[in-house]
């Protein structure tokens, strides 16, 4: 099968690769581009471990063919913060123990990052509903909710201080 | 997890997509949001040789809200949820969309894909029957309209011909009394039972009522008898009981891991009674 020439913007950088149309975006990110933060936790589009941000929306990269993502602008956990300069969400997940094994965390944080842009002051219920496409086996969710609410609070405090 | 190989096409017009369908016959499938088709391809339950991506076709987008509401097939569930005009004109659509899948899936899954898929688990088909919606189908010989109530024939078998594309959904502005009530095991699950109800009232009496049920037969079920049982009544307990019994005569659930047949019949009754109560409170 002929490979397609794909051009994407990933974490602000223009990248090019060759991929078969049937290759899933998650595989292209992980295997062709070496971006291994987004994970694969299922094959039925439930778990959300592969969540990335595509053209301003949270999507499950396991349920998009690379071909469909041609030209897309993608943000993954690697583009949200770095070990030296954590995003507030990453700090709060650490602070509030919002992760254990860490396998769902890249998807969780990438989803929460978009959720807080969609709704900067979510209630607990809105966080739970807004994160419902992301499964976690370890935390029982409680501390993830705390982490996201704390990050929202922190981001809003910073924004108010700037105004 | 790994789909079979295929050739990928991204036409920029409906005629372009139809000519690809004509060219490749049943070896071709159209893909909209991809959130039913791609999972099936990953399990190799579907293995089309040609995938025709509709996302480049601008004509399939857009929402018009007037006395008639028209929604382009590629409108995503998230776009429905965010549409202020739809929230005002057809709040039942918002109530249903919130209960479909999860945020990521709603960002890509489309209304057209949901209604054209033909899986009895999908929620929008029964809602469209309840609304008496009409589906526009574009094919080699032009466009025809098919009533939602005539569209579903068997699981994954609909009135859509192989060379046709569902381009839009339209329906008259519904009455205020509405509810979409869904029993499910968890977020993202298809319904154990769900009910779409629309009620119009005048002077404390039901003047019109429409009832349709999700995932309680091979196809979505429009229960004309359940609606008729409510018309003229005060929507009291007797009327609700009669409507529930009428609905239970129209459904034909099958046993699966959501429960045995008798359980589903019972849950369907509970869910419909709740939906009627909520629709009546808003009528």
Domain spans in chain B, listed from the N-terminal domain onward = 7-53, 60-172, 181-282
Are both A74 and A11 inside the same structural domain? yes
Determine the distance in angstroms separating the CA of A162 from the nearest CA of chain B, rounded to an integer: 29
Q: Shortest CA distance to B217 belongs to which of B194, B186, B240, B183?
A: B194
Residue of A22, A131, A132 with shortest CB distance to B5:
A22
Pair B175, B135: CB distance under 8 Å: no
pLDDT digits (tens, 9 = 90+) for B137-168: 999 999 999 999 999 999 999 999 999 999 99
pLDDT level of residue A162 (50, 70, 90 thresholds): confident
Contact state of A59 with B187 under an 8 Å Cβ cutoff: no
CATH of region B7-53: 3.30.43.10
What pLDDT does A50 receive? Answer: 98
Work out the average pLDDT over B61-74.
Answer: 97
pLDDT of residue B236: 97
Cα B227 vs. chain centroid, distance in angstroms? 19
Residues of chain B contacting A45 with CB distance shorter than 8 Å: 35, 38-39, 105
B193 DSSP β-pair partners: B183
Structure-token match 């469909």, residue found: A68
In CATH, which of 3.40.50.880, 2.40.40.20, 3.30.390.50, 1.25.10.10 is domain B181-282? 3.30.390.50
Q: Are residues A52 and A105 in the same domain?
A: no
Q: What does the pLDDT look like over B13-51, one tens digit per residue? A: 999 999 999 999 999 999 999 999 999 999 999 999 999
Bridge partners, residue B134, by sequence: B147, B170
3-state secondary structure of A122: coil
Considering CB atoms only, which of B2, B34, B51 is closest to A21?
Answer: B51
Is A98 found in the same domain as A146? Answer: yes
User: Do both A97 and A71 map to the same domain?
Assistant: no
Percent of chain B with pLDDT over 70: 100
pLDDT at residue A130 in the model: 98
Strand intervals (E) in chain B:
7-9, 28-31, 50-53, 63-65, 68-72, 134-139, 142-147, 152-154, 157-158, 165-172, 177-183, 193-202, 205-214, 221-222
User: Pick from A61, A79, A97: which residue ends a domain?
Assistant: A79
Residue B192: both structure tokens together: 């154990």
Per-residue pLDDT, averaged over A49-53, amounts to: 98
Q: Which of B6, B35, B102 sits opposite A22 (nearest CB)?
A: B6
For the segment B192-219, the average pLDDT, to the nearest whole number, is: 98
Distances (CA, A) of A85 to A80, A89, B11: 9, 11, 43
Query: Which tens digits make up the pLDDT trace of A28-45?
Result: 999 999 999 999 999 999
**What is the overall mean pLDDT for chain A?**
97
Long-range contacts of B271-274 (CB under 8 A, 24+ apart): B271/B181, B271/B182, B271/B183, B271/B193, B271/B194, B271/B195, B272/B181, B272/B195, B272/B197, B272/B211, B272/B213, B272/B226, B272/B243, B272/B244, B272/B247, B273/B240, B273/B244, B274/B179, B274/B181, B274/B195
CA distances for B92 relative to B64, B222, B275, angstroms: 16, 16, 11
A94 and A75 in one domain? no
With vertex at residue B168, the alpha carbon angle to CA B167 and CA B172, rounded to the nearest 5 degrees, is: 160
CATH topology of domain B60-172: 3.30.465
Q: How far is CA B262 from CA B15, B104, B155, B195, B254, in A?
A: 47, 34, 21, 17, 9
Range of the domain at A143: 88-162
The span from the first CA to the last CA of chain A, in angstroms, equals 55
Do A147 and A95 share a domain, yes or no?
Answer: yes
Under the banding of pLDDT at 50, 70 and 90, the label for residue A2 is confident
The share of chain A scoring above pLDDT 90, in percent, equals 94
pLDDT-derived band at A64, boundaries 50, 70, 90: very high
What is the end-to-end Cα distance of chain B in Å, rounded? 47
* pLDDT higher than 90, residue A92: yes
Quick check: A59 and B101 CB within 8 A? no
Q: What's the distance, CA B202 to chain centroid?
A: 28
Per-residue confidence at A73, pLDDT binned at 50, 70, 90?
A: very high
A14 and A36 housed in the same domain: yes
**Alpha carbon distance A73, A45 (integer Å):** 21
* Span A75-82, average pLDDT: 96
Res. A1 pLDDT band, cuts 50 70 90: low
| Distance between A71 CA and the closest CA of chain B, angstroms | 12
Q: Which of A21, A46, A57 sits opposite B188 (nearest CB)?
A: A46
Span A153-163, average pLDDT: 91
Q: At which of A59, A79, A99 does a domain end?
A: A79
Three-point CA angle A131, B80, A110, nearest 5°: 25
Q: What is the mean pLDDT of residues B42-70?
A: 97
Question: Residue B282 and residue B91: Cα distance in Å, rounded?
Answer: 11
Work out the angle between the directed axes of helices A105-118 and A88-95 (0-180°, nearest 10): 120
- Quote the ipTM score: 0.97
> Rounded mean pLDDT of A78-86?
94
Asked if the Cβ–Cβ distance from A59 to B104 is below 8 Å, we say yes
Burial of B80 (0-12, 13-18, 19+ CB in 10 A): buried
Rg (CA), chain A: 16
Mutate to test the interface with A, among B44, B94, B104, B184 (most CBs of A within 10 A): B104
pLDDT tens per residue across span B215-272: 999 999 999 999 999 999 999 999 999 999 999 999 999 999 999 999 999 999 999 9
Task: For residue A1, list chain B residues with Cβ-Cβ distance below 8 A.
Answer: 5-7
Res B202: pLDDT: 97
- Show the tokens assigned to A28: 């292209």
B170 three-class SS: strand
Task: Indicate which CATH number applies to the domain containing A30.
Answer: 3.10.20.30
- Show the DSSP H helices in A74-123 as ranges: 77-80, 88-95, 105-118
Torsion angle of alpha carbons B266, B269, B274, B275, nearest 10°? 130
CA dist B146 and A3 (Å) reads 39
According to the model, what pLDDT value does residue B138 have? 98
Indicate the SS3 state at residue A3: coil
To test the contact with chain A by mutation, choose from B2, B8, B187 the residue with the greatest count of A C-beta atoms within 10 A, namely: B8
Number of cross-chain residue pairs from A and B with Cβ atoms under 8 Å apart: 84
Same domain, A134 and A158: yes
> Which positions in chain A have a beta carbon within 8 angstroms of at least one beta carbon in chain B?
1, 4, 20-22, 24, 40, 43-46, 48, 51, 57-60, 62-65, 67-68, 111, 115, 130-133
- Residues A46, A97, single domain; the answer is no
| Higher-confidence position of B1 and A159 | B1
Among A57, A22, A66, A124, smallest CA distance to B105 is for A57
- Give the pLDDT confidence of B165-187 residue by residue, as tens digits: 999 999 999 999 999 999 999 99
What's the structural domain count of chain A? Answer: 2
CA B82 distance to own-chain centroid: 18
pTM (2 decimals)? 0.97
Query: Residue A66 pLDDT > 70, yes or no?
Result: yes
Q: Which of A55, A79, A103 is the last residue of a domain?
A: A79
Question: Mean pLDDT, chain B, as a whole number?
Answer: 98
What is the percent of chain B with per-residue pLDDT over 90, rounded to a whole number?
100
Q: In 10 A of CB B96, how many CB atoms? A: 27
Q: Give A-chain residues touching B101 at CB under 8 angstroms.
A: 133
Average pLDDT of the residues in A93-103: 98
């Amino acid at each position: 099968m002929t490979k397609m020439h794909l051009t994407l913007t990933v974490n602000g950088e223009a990248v090019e690769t060759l991929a078969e149309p049937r290759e899933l975006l998650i595989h292209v990110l992980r295997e062709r581009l070496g971006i291994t933060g987004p994970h694969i936790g299922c094959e039925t589009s439930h778990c959300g471990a592969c969540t990335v941000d595509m053209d301003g929306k949270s999507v499950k990269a396991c349920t998009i063919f690379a071909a469909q993502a041609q030209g897309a602008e993608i943000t993954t956990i690697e583009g949200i913060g770095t070990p030296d300069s954590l995003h507030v969400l990453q700090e709060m997940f650490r602070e509030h123990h919002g992760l254990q094994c860490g396998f769902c965390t890249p998807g969780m944080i990438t989803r929460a990052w978009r959720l807080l842009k969609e709704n900067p002051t979510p209630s607990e219920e809105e966080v739970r509903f807004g994160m419902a496409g992301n499964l976690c086996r370890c935390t029982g969710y409680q501390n993830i909710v705390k982490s996201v609410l704390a990050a929202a609070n922190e981001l809003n405090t910073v924004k108010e201080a700037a105004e | 997890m790994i789909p079979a190989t295929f050739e990928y096409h991204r036409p920029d017009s409906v005629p372009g997509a139809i000519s690809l369908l004509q060219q490749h016959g049943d070896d071709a499938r159209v893909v909209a949001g991809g959130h039913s088709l791609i999972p099936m391809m990953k399990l190799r339950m579907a293995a089309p040789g040609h995938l025709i991506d509709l996302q480049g076709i601008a004509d399939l987008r857009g929402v018009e809200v007037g006395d008639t509401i028209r929604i382009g097939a590629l409108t995503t569930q998230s776009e429905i949820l965010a549409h202020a005009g739809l929230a005002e004109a057809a709040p039942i659509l918002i109530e249903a969309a919130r209960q479909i899948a999860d945020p990521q899936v709603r960002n890509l899954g489309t209304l057209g894909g949901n209604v054209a898929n033909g899986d009895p688990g999908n929620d929008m088909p029964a809602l469209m029957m309840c609304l008496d919606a009409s589906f526009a189908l574009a094919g080699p010989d032009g466009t025809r309209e098919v009533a939602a109530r005539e569209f579903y024939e068997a699981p994954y078998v609909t009135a859509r011909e192989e060379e046709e594309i569902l381009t839009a959904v339209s329906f008259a502005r519904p009455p205020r009394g509405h509810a979409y009530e869904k029993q499910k095991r968890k977020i993202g699950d298809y319904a154990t039972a769900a009910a779409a109800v629309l009620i119009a009232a005048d002077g404390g009496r039901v003047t019109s009522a429409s009832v349709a049920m999700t995932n309680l037969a091979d196809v979505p079920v429009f229960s004309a008898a359940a609606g008729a049982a409510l018309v003229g009544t005060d929507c009291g307990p007797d009327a609700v009981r009669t409507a529930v019994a009428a609905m239970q005569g129209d459904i034909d659930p099958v046993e699966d891991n959501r429960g045995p047949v008798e359980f589903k019949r019972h849950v369907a009754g509970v869910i419909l009674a709740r939906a009627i109560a909520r629709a009546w409170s808003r009528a």
